Structure 1
Amino acid sequence: MTLDTIDRKILASLQKSGRMSNSDLSNRVNLSPSACHRRVQRLEADGYIRGYVALLDPRKIGVPTTVFVEITLQAQADEVLEAFEKAVARIPDVLECHLMAGTADYILKIVAENTEDYARIHRQHLTRLPGVAQMQSSFALRTVFKTTALPI
């Protein structure tokens, strides 16, 4: 399926406000409510829309500290990568894990209460990850820009 202009407007609008009513969405993209609803259902069924979430304020939740961790593994064998990926997916404080091309094999995005909490996460989880040869942690001082919206 290819996306037309209306599909793109629907996706862009829902990325900014996923709780928007179908009536408001249909007005925004100049479609009837029933036609708009059918398009949204099709975009969901075709996998363009994977789900809907609430974006929480990390400070209010008590995890204002963001840490990026570069990880280099001892080897690149499939079983080493697979074991690492399964283990890291079980750490609740890890928001993202990316397999990289470059100096690190993986980059993790972790949230914590503060540096002491990160030390706990490091001690209890990160040091126990299989196949790790080296780890480098960088603390974010301030988030300058952040979005979840993909360019449409």
Structure 2
Amino acid sequence: MRLDGIDRTIIAHLTEDARRSYADIARDVNLSPPAVKRRVDRLRAGGAIAGFSTSVNHAALGWNLEVLLLCYCGPLRATTRDALAEILSREPEVLEAWNVGGEADVIVRARLRDAADLERFLLKLYGDGIVEHTKTNIVLSRLVERRG
């Protein structure tokens, strides 16, 4: 899909604030609101915009602990990788998980309420026998965060 400067500006505005009105965006790109809507529809149909989301303050909801878990699984075959993906997908605390090359086999980003919640989560991971051990990295603060 080819994007011009106006498309990129529209995407930047929606990445910053997905609720920004077409009229507001139209003023910035010198188009009419219906023309902006047509472009957004085309960008969605072409896959450049996958969807719209809400940014949530998780700490305000009691989810105070964010971790990156380096998981070591022994020989990670396709069947065990798929089984681990299924286990992780059922856990609401898991935000993202990646099969990686390097020191660990899998990296999991999770958000939990507290240390007791983390301990419960780790015991559940070990209970399936796929994850042999982990290294836990606690996120202290975000240095850079990009959306979109």
TM over 0.5: yes
Residue of structure 1 in register with 2:134 after alignment = 135
Report the CA distance shift for 1:96/1:35 in structure 2 as closer, same or farther (over 3 A).
same
Q: Deviation at 1:130?
A: 4.8
Q: What is the TM-score of this pair, normalised by structure 1?
A: 0.90
Report the CA distance shift for 1:26/1:128 in structure 2 as closer, same or farther (over 3 A).
farther
Listed as ranges, the gaps of 5+ residues in structure 1 are none
Q: Deviation at 1:129?
A: 4.1
The 8 Å contact of residues 62 and 113 in structure 1, kept in 2 or not, is answered as yes
The 8 Å contact of residues 83 and 130 in structure 1, kept in 2 or not, is answered as no
Report the CA distance shift for 1:7/1:57 in structure 2 as closer, same or farther (over 3 A).
same
Aligned residue pair count: 148
CA RMSD across the alignment: 1.4
Residue of structure 2 in register with 1:44 after alignment = 44
Q: Identify the structure with bigger relative contact order (alpha carbons < 8 Å, sequence gap 6+).
A: 1
Q: What is the TM-score of this pair, normalised by structure 2?
A: 0.92
The 8 Å contact of residues 126 and 133 in structure 2, kept in 1 or not, is answered as no
SS in 1 for 2:132: strand
Q: Deviation at 1:143?
A: 2.5
Amino acid of the residue matched to residue 71 of structure 2?
A: I
Amino acid of the residue matched to residue 126 of structure 1?
A: L
Listed as ranges, the gaps of 5+ residues in structure 2 are none
- Kindly report structure 1 stretches of 4+ aligned residues shifted beyond 3 Å: none
Residue of structure 1 in register with 2:125 after alignment = 126
Deviations 1:35-94 (Å, cap 9, x if unpaired)? 111000011111111111111101111001111100122213211111111111111101
The 8 Å contact of residues 126 and 132 in structure 2, kept in 1 or not, is answered as no
Residue of structure 2 in register with 1:145 after alignment = 144
Percent identity over the alignment is: 30
Report the CA distance shift for 1:13/1:129 in structure 2 as closer, same or farther (over 3 A).
farther
Q: Deviation at 1:132?
A: 1.6
SS in 1 for 2:50: coil
